[in-house]
């Protein structure tokens, strides 16, 4: 490995932009991380978080070797052991458990701390399939909305974001794109400069994204479907729909026309808090400006009615025929275009018992406390559930169980890692070989090792190889090299968009674009092969077949709807334990409307206790007008450093959303009181 030079790389974080990176190396160390100007979408610009990535890679607190817990669970006291001992301890415990309680007593728990395909959903899947462990439903992020979108559009297929520079109206709907999808903002700003495009932001919180809008529309949480239906009402009433598109490419527009009569602007205004005149103005803009593009965010989707929200809003571009126009349409997610061969990569055939139970990751607390037969061992990797999962107090109580054998594989001593019996050090993505597929743009990228492995750390792929050996699994699949696994994943004739993308060419080119064709004219993967404004499949599954506004579940008698969203300088809880990023973000705030503050005698800068039936948090208040009365918002998944009580997920519900087993982080209610 060369000690000096500039090396092409890819950002591994769970972020739609998936930037191309250049890593500058001196004497074997990364000294600078910058954007790769050659990358066609991200064009050399990256966020502040990753510009400071070297601070994280070489943070003195990074885990260097395997350890065994010597203190109480959660205390964070460990002693060094060898890899041999770690693997022997884990596998002998698991063999005993499989003997006594069966393999389903073991639960893997992971998400996308590193988006690399082999490390996030490759060798691990092979291993747990072979074991017959409980399966994890990975529903914490966007599954409700993905199911909702699929009912309307047939799969995760939207428009090419590169086309959105042609848009004249760009609606950021429930997405804090300035923090979470910065290159979509760059494209929108280019469209504003070149075409005079207008940027509209619909959000419950006027945050960084709201501040850059030409028009910011504040809305009450969980009511967005009603607003979308109100827009449809006006589009039909004022004949602003594209009849020929509706006729050719949709089913159910006549039913929809009748159905939306009930969503008149007065009714919708009552529900959403958006003034009647603004509903008219927005609908008329949407009905007359072309091309118009909607970026559908994750926010309104993290509600009880989140699936139906995405299902509803994704009907809008069909009404105006925008899918046919370059720069028009919508993006909820684009992961469909780069789907690889999971049958070959994950080997589901190794799972003999097809009835193996499935546990929803949003219900981790329940799974550890009440599920029967009980979970006796938890293996956590690429995820930090003690901070990111809802009903945080239940999760911690579960992790404290004496009879639960916990293994955590991470780069840092996260809040979750403090509960581990065995703690394993993970490599950073820059030490591994892997491939990356964006769920927003259409490029696949490759990572090859740029730096030597840090201390004794190992990649997920390597750890599962060792665990397989320790368990005595003899399938050759556990010996496949990274290059072989990549070739297997890319061999996917069922996905024509992957044509021409292979390991060797990726190595040569660093990034390759999927061979994507526009969605229309064309046929979708819905049962009718058209956009389903009316969905028989939804009806069969017990949902209203037409887009419908369903109010949030009443979550206790608390005065405020609580919106704990991500922040600018962390990536979920990643970076929440890196001093550089903490200092950039300073401290979490609770944003409160000045009317509410006045009524409860709270002043800007006051320390408050935010509480409900699930838990409490201590936060500093920021009084102003960036949330509506009755709403409080905060940003960031902060670690509970030295008992600061900043763990927002102690307050969030583990109710399951209407679709896809999704999370309802933003549907909780809280009370707020000033600290004495
Ligand atoms: N800087 C940064 N970037 C990130 C992340 C991060 O933590 N930090 N996380 C990454 C991940 S995993 C994901 S999934 C994405 C998520 O990124 P986004 O799609 O932006 O989703 P959120 O940030 O969850 O919420 C977006 C917005 O929805 C608003 N919101 C909440 N409820 C409602 C509602 O009912 N209606 C409306 N209209 N708005 C509502 C919130 O105020 C917030 O501004 O970002 C990724 N990128
Ligand atoms: N209140 C609230 N809660 C939320 C959300 C919200 O908006 N509000 N957002 C939700 C969403 S959308 C998501 S996606 C989840 C995300 O939740 P998580 O998936 O837990 O994401 P992170 O907090 O980034 O934690 C990822 C962990 O993986 C580790 N890691 C990174 N690379 C590797 C690797 O290669 N191997 C191993 N073994 N470990 C690695 C990192 O060090 C980090 O500790 O959080 C959810 N929780
Ligand atoms: S976190 Fe997102 S914006 Fe930042 S470098 Fe990574 S992909 Fe790019
Ligand atoms: Mo996410």
* Dist CA 277 CA 283 (whole Å): 10
Is residue 216 pLDDT above 80, yes or no?
yes
Distance from the Cα of residue 548 to its chain's centroid: 25
pLDDT at 141: 98
pLDDT at 641: 75
Question: What band does 676 get if pLDDT is binned at 50, 70 and 90?
Answer: confident
| Nearest ligand to the CA atom of 408 | 2
Rg (CA), the chain: 25
* Dist CA 524 CA 45 (whole Å): 34
Ligand 1, atom 30, lies closest to the CA of 299
For range 243-252, the mean pLDDT: 98
Q: Which atom of ligand 2 is nearest to the CA of 112?
A: 19
For ligand 2, say whether the CB of 141 is within 6 Å of any of its atoms: yes
* Dist CA 528 CA 154 (whole Å): 10
Q: Which atom of ligand 1 is nearest to the CA of 637?
A: 7
Q: How far is CA 579 from CA 55, 75, 410, in A?
A: 9, 21, 18
pLDDT at 639: 87
| Nearest ligand to the CA atom of 179 | 1
| Nearest ligand to the CA atom of 180 | 1
For range 262-284, the mean pLDDT: 98
Q: How far is CA 183 from CA 41, 45, 76, 189, 495, in A?
A: 7, 8, 39, 10, 26
The two tokens of residue 542 are: 């017990």
Count of all residues that appear for the chain in the document: 676
Q: Which atom of ligand 3 is nearest to the CA of 46?
A: 5
* Dist CA 13 CA 15 (whole Å): 6
Distance 310 CA to ligand 3 centre (A): 24
| Nearest ligand to the CA atom of 36 | 3
pLDDT at 245: 98
Q: Which atom of ligand 1 is nearest to the CA of 572?
A: 7
Mean pLDDT across the chain = 97
Domains of the chain and any CATH numbers: 5-57 (3.30.200.210), 67-141+356-513 (3.40.50.740), 144-332 (3.40.228.10), 560-674 (2.40.40.20)
Q: In what order do the strands lie in the sheet with 78-80?
A: 78-80, 67-69, 422-425, 405-410, 377-381, 106-110
For range 38-46, the mean pLDDT: 97
Q: Where are the alpha helices (DSSP H) in 132-238?
A: 143-153, 177-180, 182-195, 208-211, 224-237
Q: Which atom of ligand 1 is nearest to the CA of 141?
A: 14
Q: Which atom of ligand 1 is nearest to the CA of 222?
A: 35
- SS3 annotation, 74-128: CCCCEEECCHHHHHHHHHHHHHHHHHHHCHHHEEEEECCCCCCHHHHHCHHHHHH
405, 379 in Cβ contact below 8 A?
no
Ligand 3 pocket at CB < 6 A:
11, 13, 15, 17-19, 46-47, 49-50, 182, 571
Q: How many CB atoms lie within 10 A of CB 258?
A: 11
The two tokens of residue 483 are: 């290059």
Distance 513 CA to ligand 3 centre (A): 18
User: Going by DSSP bridges, is the β-strand pair 443-447/589-593 parallel, antiparallel, or unpaired?
Assistant: unpaired
Q: Is 247 left (phi over 0), alpha (psi -120 to 50) or beta?
A: alpha
* Dist CA 471 CA 658 (whole Å): 39
Taking every pair of Cα atoms in the chain, the longest distance, rounded to a whole number of angstroms, is: 72
Q: How many CB atoms lie within 10 A of CB 652?
A: 27
Ligand 1 pocket at CB < 6 A:
14-15, 141-142, 174-176, 179-180, 202-205, 207, 219, 221-222, 224, 297-300, 302-303, 563, 565-566, 568, 570-572, 633, 666
Distance 654 CA to ligand 3 centre (A): 29
pLDDT at 644: 81
**pTM (2 d.p.):** 0.98
Numbers of helices and strands, H then E, in the chain: 26, 27
Distance from the Cα of residue 431 to its chain's centroid: 24
- Percent residues over pLDDT 90 in the chain: 98
Distance 388 CA to ligand 2 centre (A): 7
305, 660 in Cβ contact below 8 A?
no
Residues 431, 432, 435, 436, Cα dihedral to 10°: -40
Ligand 2 pocket test, candidate residues 572, 575, 578, 654, most atoms within 8 A of CB: 572
pLDDT digits 0-9 by tens, 467-514 = 999 999 999 999 999 999 999 999 999 999 999 999 999 999 999 999
| Nearest ligand to the CA atom of 653 | 2
pLDDT at 643: 74
pLDDT digits 0-9 by tens, 382-428 = 999 999 999 999 999 999 999 999 999 999 999 999 999 999 999 99
**Selection from 308, 299, 460 nearest residue 382 by Cα:** 460
For range 362-372, the mean pLDDT: 98
pLDDT at 640: 79
Q: Which atom of ligand 3 is nearest to the CA of 17?
A: 7
Q: Which atom of ligand 3 is nearest to the CA of 571?
A: 1
For range 368-374, the mean pLDDT: 97
Question: What band does 642 get if pLDDT is binned at 50, 70 and 90?
Answer: confident
The two tokens of residue 654 are: 């583990």
Q: In what order do the strands lie in the sheet with 443-447?
A: 434-437, 443-447, 511-513
pLDDT digits 0-9 by tens, 297-349 = 999 999 999 999 999 999 999 999 999 999 999 999 999 999 999 999 999 99
Ligand 3 pocket test, candidate residues 14, 15, 180, 569, most atoms within 8 A of CB: 15
The two tokens of residue 292 are: 């118009």
Distance 429 CA to ligand 2 centre (A): 15
For range 88-96, the mean pLDDT: 98
The two tokens of residue 115 are: 């988006």
């Amino acid at each position: 490995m060369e000690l000096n030079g500039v090396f092409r790389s890819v950002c591994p974080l769970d972020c739609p932009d998936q930037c191309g990176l250049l890593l500058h190396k001196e004497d074997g160390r990364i000294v600078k991380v910058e954007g790769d100007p050659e990358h066609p979408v991200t064009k050399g610009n990256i966020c502040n978080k990753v510009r400071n990535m070297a601070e994280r890679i070489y943070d003195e607190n990074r885990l260097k070797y395997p350890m065994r817990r010597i203190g109480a669970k959660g205390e964070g006291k460990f002693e060094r052991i060898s890899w041999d001992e770690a693997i022997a301890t884990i596998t002998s415990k698991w063999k005993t458990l499989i003997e006594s309680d069966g393999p389903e007593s073991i639960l893997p728990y992971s998400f996308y701390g590193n988006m690399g395909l082999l490390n996030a959903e490759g060798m691990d899947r092979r291993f747990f399939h072979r074991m017959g462990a409980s399966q994890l439903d990975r529903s914490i992020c966007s599954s409700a909305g993905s199911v909702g979108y699929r009912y309307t559009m047939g799969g995760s297929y939207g428009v090419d974001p590169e086309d959105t520079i042609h848009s004249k109206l760009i609606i950021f709907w429930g997405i804090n794109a300035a923090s979470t999808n910065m290159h979509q903002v760059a494209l929108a700003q280019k469209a504003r400069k070149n075409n005079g495009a207008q940027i509209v932001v619909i959000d419950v919180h006027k945050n960084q994204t709201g501040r850059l809008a030409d028009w910011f529309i504040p809305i009450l949480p969980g009511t967005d479907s009603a607003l979308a239906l109100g827009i449809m009402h006006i589009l039909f009433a004022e004949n602003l729909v594209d009849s020929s598109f509706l006729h050719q490419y949709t089913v159910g527009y006549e039913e929809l026309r009748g159905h939306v009569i009930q969503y008149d602007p007065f009714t919708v205004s009552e529900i959403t808090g958006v003034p009647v005149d603004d509903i008219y103005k927005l609908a008329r803009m949407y009905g007359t400006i072309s091309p118009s593009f909607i970026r559908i965010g994750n926010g309104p989707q993290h509600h009880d009615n989140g699936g139906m929200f995405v299902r509803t809003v994704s009907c809008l571009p069909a009404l105006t025929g925008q899918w046919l126009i370059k720069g028009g349409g919508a993006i909820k997610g684009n992961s469909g275009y780069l789907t690889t061969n999971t049958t070959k990569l994950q080997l589901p055939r190794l799972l003999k018992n097809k009835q193996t139970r499935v546990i929803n990751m949003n219900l981790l607390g329940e799974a550890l406390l009440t599920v029967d037969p009980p979970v006796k061992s938890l293996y956590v990797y690429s995820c930090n559930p003690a901070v990111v999962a809802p009903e945080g107090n239940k999760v911690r109580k579960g992790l404290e169980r004496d009879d639960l054998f916990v293994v955590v594989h991470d780069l840092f001593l996260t809040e979750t890692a403090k509960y581990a019996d065995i703690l394993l050090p993970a490599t950073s993505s820059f030490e591994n070989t892997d491939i990356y597929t964006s769920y927003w743009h259409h490029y696949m990228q490759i990572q090859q090792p740029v730096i030597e492995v840090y201390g004794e750390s190992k990649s997920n792929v390597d750890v599962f190889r060792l665990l397989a050996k320790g368990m005595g699994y003899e399938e050759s699949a556990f010996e496949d090299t990274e290059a072989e696994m990549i070739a297997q994943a890319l061999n996917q004739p069922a996905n024509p968009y992957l044509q021409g993308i292979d390991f060797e060419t990726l190595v040569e080119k660093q990034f390759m674009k999927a061979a994507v064709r526009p969605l229309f004219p064309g046929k979708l993967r819905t049962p009718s092969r058209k956009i389903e404004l009316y969905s028989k499949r939804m009806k069969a599954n017990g949902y209203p077949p037409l887009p419908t506004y369903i109010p949030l579940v009443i979550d206790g008698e608390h005065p405020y709807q609580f919106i704990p969203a991500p922040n600018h300088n962390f990536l979920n809880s990643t970076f929440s334990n890196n001093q550089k990023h903490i200092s950039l973000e300073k401290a979490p705030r609770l944003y409160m409307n000045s009317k509410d503050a006045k009524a409860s005698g709270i002043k800007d800068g006051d320390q408050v206790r935010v509480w409900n039936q699930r838990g409490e948090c201590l936060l500093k208040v920021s009084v102003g007008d960036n949330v509506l009365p009755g709403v409080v918002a905060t940003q960031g998944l902060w670690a509970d450093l030295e008992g600061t009580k900043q763990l927002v997920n102690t307050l969030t519900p583990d109710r399951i959303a209407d679709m896809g087993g999704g999370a309802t982080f933003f549907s909780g209610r809280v009370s707020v009181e000033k600290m004495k």
